[in-house]
A and B are shown apart, each in its own frame.
Chain A
Amino acid sequence: MAPIEPDPAAAERFDAADQALYLTEVMAEIDAEVRRRRASGDLPAGLEQELDELFLEFSPVGLHGKARLRETLALVDGSAYVDVAVPVESRKAVGSQIKRLIRKSMGWYIGFIVHQIVKFAWSVSRMFHVVVDHVEDLEAAVETQRTPELPASAVPANDPGSSWWSAEAVTAVSGVSGRVLQAECGNGSLLDALLAAGVDAYGVDPIESVIEPAVERGLDVRAESVLDHLEVVADEALSGMVLTGSIQWLHPNQRHRLVALATARLAVDGVLVLHSATPESWMAETSHLMSDLAPGRPLHAETWSHLLADHGFRRTGLTFGGEDRRLDRVLSSNPDASAINGAIDAVNALLLGPGEYLLVAVRER
C-alpha cells in the first residue's frame, strides 16, 4: 500500500489549535464506533478480558494478589518446595549412567535430608500465612469499626416492585444485554417485573427471611449485603445495577466503597439506576431510632450525580416522585389567601418537597 504524499501547499494551513480540536472530534467518533459495536453485539461482554487472559497461558505466573503481602507470601511458598530429583544429564554418555548409579544409592539419604528441609520451610511459610491472615483480619476490623450497623428492626420493609419508580427503572435497564443486579431486592417484586421485560436480573438482600418468597419462586436471589456481593463479582461482569434500600444511609466510607465497586463491576456503557429518598423527606418521615442510628443519611440527587460523574458516569435521567407532602395553596377567593399562601410556599420549600428520586446514569469509557 502506498503511503500518503504530503501536500506542500497545505502545510501553510496547519494550525495547532485547529488540529487539536479536529483530533478531539476524531477521538469522539472512534469512541462512538466502539459503543455502536458493543450495542449491536459485536463486542460481547468479557471478550476483551478473555483475549487478554489467553496470554496468561504463555506468560510466567502473574500473581493476581491483592496486596504486596500476598505476593511476597507466594514467593515464599514457591521456594518452600525442594526438588529431590538430582539432574543426571551429562555430555559424556557414560557420565549419565554413573550419575544415575550415584543418585540411586544416595537417593534415600538425600530424600531424608530434603524431607527435613521441606518440613521446616513449610512451617515457616505456614507462619507467614498466619501472620498475613491476622493482618488482613485487623484491617477488616478497623474498617468495620468505622462503619456501624443499623439494627435490622429499624429498617422499613421493602416492596420495590410496586413503587412509583418501578416502571421507569425497568425501562432504564431493559435495553441492556447481560446480567443486571438489584440491591436490595426485598421480596423480589421488582425482579419479577425486570424478568418479565426480558432483563437477565438477579438480586441480593441482607435479610434471609425477606427473600424467602423470592427464592421459592425460583428467582436467583442471595442473602448478602450489596457491598459483600460486589466484592466477589468480576470486573465489568454486570450490564446494569438497580440500587435502593439501605444504600441510602450507608456510612460515607461504605458509600465510597460502593461507588468504586459499582464503577469497576459495571461494563462500559452499563446502566446504573439509583433510587433514594431526598434527605429532607427522609428526616421528616423516618423514625427517630432510624435517623439517629443510621450510619449515614440519604444524599441529594445532585450530590449523587457529582459522585458518579467523578467516577466516569454520565447522568441520563433524574425523576422526582413519591409521596408529595406539599400543602395545597388556598383559593385566592380566601381573604387571607396571599398571607397564607406565602407561608405555605415557604414551608413547602423548606421541608416537604418531592419525597424521592430516581437517578439513571451510564458508565462511560
Chain B
Amino acid sequence: MKLAFITPRYGTEVIGGAETAARMLAERLCQRPDWDVEVMTSCALDHLTWENTEPPGRSVINGVTVCRFPTASRRLLGYFELDAKLRVSPTTATLAESRRWVALNGPMCPDLVEAVAATDADIVACYPYLFATTVDGIAVSRVPTVLHPAAHDEPALYLSAFRQSFRDIDGFVYHTQAERELMEYAFAIGARPQIVLGLGVNEPVGAGRPGGDVLGIGDRPYLCYLGRVDEHKGCVMLAEYFERYKAGHPGDLALAFVGPVSDKAPDHPDVVVTGTVSEADKWDILAGARVMVNPSAYESFSLVLLEAWSLGIPALVNASCAATMEHCRRSGGGLWFESYRSFEVTVDRLVADGGLRSSLGEAGRQYTACYYRWSSIVDRYTRFLEGVVDRGHRAPIRSRRLQLAVGGPEYLRKG
C-alpha cells in the first residue's frame, strides 16, 4: 500500500511540532516492507515567508521519498491585516473570507495540488489542518484521505473554511484524547473513524556520563527542563518559582534549562542554562535528573515527558495543560502544580522521597513502553489506514481550490 503525506514543510531542518511528528511517522512507516511512503511538500522551509529555498523535484531524506513543489507566492502583507480581523471573531467571517485567510496563510502550491489530484497512492494523509496545502489537498483528492489536525483551541480552528473541509475527511488521527475532544466538540465529527495515535519515543542515545558532569555541577541533585526556553512555554514562570523556592529552602538543588534560548530568564547561581545540546548530552542530562519539569500550559503532546519516562524519571507538569495532565493521569508517572504553593510542596516531597520518585518513574516507563513504542504506534496506524481504505472515498460534489488574491506587497523577514 502507498501513503502520500501532504505537509507544508518537510526536512530535518524543520523545527515544528507537527512537521517533526509527520517526518518521524513517515520515516518509521517506510521501513515497513508492505508500505510505500511519499511526501508531497513545498520548496519552502520558513513558514513565515514561504520563500522557495529548496530545489523542486524528488529527493530522498532518511529513506523517505520527498517531492517538493514551488510555492506560487511568498507570504503577502494582506495576511496580517486579515488575520488580525478574523482573530477577533472567526465565527462571523463568511466562508469566502475564511477561505481567503487560508489562501493567504499559504503555502499556495498549484503543482502540489495537481500532483495530489493525480496521485497513485492508495491513501493520502494531510498534516496539519491549518494550511492551504491541506485544504486544497482534501478538496482534490480522489482517494481516501485522513487528517492529522494537530489542533489547538485557537481562533483559526473556528474558521468556516475548515469546517467545510473536514466534511470530506475519511479518518482523523489525533495526538491526544484532549485533541479528539476539542475537534469533536467543535465540528460534530464524533461518528467519523478516528484514532488517538500520539508519537513514538526514540531510543535513548546517551553516552552514559553522569548528568551532573555534563552540566558542570558535580553530583548536586537537579530538576530538568527540556525544550525551547521561551516565556510562552512557561520558563520564566518556572525560573521565578525556583528562585522563591531556593529562598525558602536553601540546599544544593539546581535547575537546568536544556534547549535553545528565546527568552532569557534572569541569572541565578543555582540555574544552569545549556543552550542547544547534542542528542547524547540531552539523554545523559535527562537520565541524571531527579525530576523532569514541564511548566508549559500549551503542549499538544509533549514528547519530552515520554522521553523522561522512558528513562524512569518522574515528571512534574502544569495542571492547566490538558495534554500533559492526560499523560500524568493515565500513567500515574507524574505530579502537577497549579500555583507556587503546590509547586513548593510537590518539589519538596519529590526531592526528599526517593521511593516516590522511583515508583512514579517506573509507572511512567511502563506507560511509555505500552503505548508509545514506535513499533506499536506504526502497527496501530497501518491498521487504521487499512480500515479507512476499505471504506472507500466519496469525492466532494465539486472540488473547489483556493484562490489567492491578485498580487500585493510581500513579506520578507529581515535578518
Contact = CB atoms under 8 A, between A and B. Distances in A.
Interface of A: 44, 46-47, 50-51, 53-54, 56-57, 60-61, 63, 74-75, 77-78, 80-81, 83, 85, 118, 122, 125, 179, 181, 200, 202, 218, 220, 222, 229-235, 237-238, 265
Given A220-B194, A232-B190, A80 B88 contact: yes
Interface of B: 81, 84-85, 88-89, 91-96, 160, 164, 167, 180, 184-185, 188-195, 380, 383-384, 387, 391, 394, 396-398, 400
6 contacts: A81-B85, A200-B391, A218-B383, A220-B195, A237-B190, A238-B191
B397 A54 contact: yes
Contacts of A122: 88
Given A75-B92, A238-B191, A232 B167 contact: no
A232 B195 contact: no
A50 B96 contact: no
A61 B180 CA distance: 27
Contacts of B195: 220
Nearest to A195: B387
Contact of B91 (A51, A57, A74, A222): A74
A173 B115 CA distance: 39
A218 B380 contact: yes
Contacts of B190: 229-234, 237
Contacts of B189: 232, 234
Nearest to B180: A222
Contacts of B192: 179, 237
Nearest to B94: A61
B391 A81 contact: no
A56 to B, nearest CB: 5
A247 to B, nearest CB: 17
A89 B88 CA distance: 27
Contact of B191 (A44, A51, A63, A179): A179
Given A56-B95, A220-B195, A265-B191, A81 B167 contact: no
A312 to B, nearest CB: 20
B191 A237 contact: yes
A93 B231 CA distance: 51
Given A50-B397, A61-B93, A234 B188 contact: yes
B89 A53 contact: no
Contacts of A44: 394
Contacts of A77: 88-89, 91-92
A50 B383 contact: no
A133 to B, nearest CB: 13
Contacts of A53: 164, 167
A262 B281 CA distance: 56
Nearest to A60: B94
A232 B88 contact: no
A126 to B, nearest CB: 10
B5 to A, nearest CB: 22
A246 to B, nearest CB: 18
Given A81-B85, A81-B88, A122-B88, 20 more contacts: A46-B167, A53-B164, A56-B95, A57-B96, A61-B92, A61-B95, A74-B91, A74-B92, A75-B92, A77-B88, A77-B92, A78-B92, A80-B88, A81-B84, A81-B89, A218-B380, A220-B387, A232-B190, A234-B190, A237-B190
Contacts of A179: 191-192
B87 to A, nearest CB: 9
A85 B88 CA distance: 17
A227 B180 CA distance: 17
A80 B188 CA distance: 28
A322 B94 CA distance: 56
Contact of B184 (A54, A57, A232, A235): A232
A220 B193 contact: yes
Nearest to A45: B394
Nearest to A208: B330
A220 B193 CA distance: 7
B385 to A, nearest CB: 11
A166 B407 CA distance: 63
A3 to B, nearest CB: 33
A57 B396 CA distance: 14
B382 to A, nearest CB: 10
B186 to A, nearest CB: 9
B349 to A, nearest CB: 28
A122 B93 CA distance: 17
A185 to B, nearest CB: 14
B92 A234 contact: no
Given A44-B394, A81-B85, A234 B191 contact: yes
A232 B396 contact: no
A37 to B, nearest CB: 16
Nearest to B99: A57
Leading 8 A-B pairs by shortest Cβ distance: A77-B89, A232-B190, A232-B184, A237-B191, A233-B190, A78-B92, A234-B188, A233-B191
A57 B95 contact: yes
A8 to B, nearest CB: 47
A234 B50 CA distance: 36
B383 A54 contact: no
Contacts of B380: 218
A226 B173 CA distance: 21
B167 A50 contact: yes
Given A200-B391, A234-B188, A63 B88 contact: no
A81 B84 CA distance: 9
A85 B84 CA distance: 13
A58 to B, nearest CB: 8
Contacts of A230: 190
A238 B398 CA distance: 24
Contacts of A238: 191
Given A50-B396, A54-B398, A61-B94, A78 B188 contact: no
